[in-house]
Amino acid sequence: MQNIIKFVIASFFIFVLGIFYLALNTNSNYDTKHLVGSKLTNIKLESFENEKFFTSNDLRKSNYTLINFWASWCSPCRIEHENLMELSKQENLKILGVNFKDKKKNAIKFLKDLGNPYDFLTKDEVGKQSVNFGIYGIPESILIDNDLKILRKFVGPLSKEDINNILNIIKTS
């Protein structure tokens, strides 16, 4: 009987160690790199200005679209805003802004103070729509083509290097 108890305790101990080993060797960071190359589907974002919706058909109208998730309360969004203003000058690229969990009056003031780089402006007041895009924090941006294929995903504020990468992609076609 003692041998059975020792065996059960040893087995349990080995089992617990195995679980810890697996947990420590598993990447727990949320990674959305797998989204690159896939297509967006069933897009339906509420317009910032009115009761209309922005859909997949609207995105197909431009060669490239950068979908930028932002908020007035987001400090890194302020940092990247200058880079978005630079990108807004490109003819081959439209920028869709998704205002994330923000108060409308604060978002309007943000755009009035810093400029509005967005060709289209939508809102996600509770953050449910952003999850469908693989967004887990802001700012984040997704570059797509007119087939709604995700070409690049940017986590965090867009840097000068990111801007140059976007420009290289949109100028090759």
Catalytic, out of 45, 59, 74, 111: 74
Mean pLDDT for the stretch of residues 21-50? 71
Instruction: Give residue-wise pLDDT tens across range 50-76.
Output: 878 888 888 888 899 999 999 999 999
**Type of residue at 23:** A
Mean pLDDT for the stretch of residues 72-85? 93
Specify whether 74 is catalytic.
yes
Instruction: Give residue-wise pLDDT tens across range 111-129.
Output: 999 999 999 999 988 877 8
The mean-pLDDT minimum among 16-25, 30-39, 62-71 falls in 30-39
The mean-pLDDT minimum among 69-78, 112-121, 128-137, 159-168 falls in 128-137
Catalytic, out of 77, 142, 143, 150: 77
SS3 73: coil
User: Which residue matches tokens 């947990």?
Assistant: 23
- CA dist 155 and 35 (Å) reads 12
Q: Indicate the pLDDT class of residue 142, thresholds 50, 70 and 90.
A: very high
pLDDT of 138 > 60? The answer is yes
pTM, to two decimals: 0.78
All structural domains of the chain, each given as residue ranges with its CATH number in brackets, are 37-171 (3.40.30.10)
Mean pLDDT for the stretch of residues 74-93? 92
User: Which residue matches tokens 């949320």?
Assistant: 30
Specify whether 139 is catalytic.
no
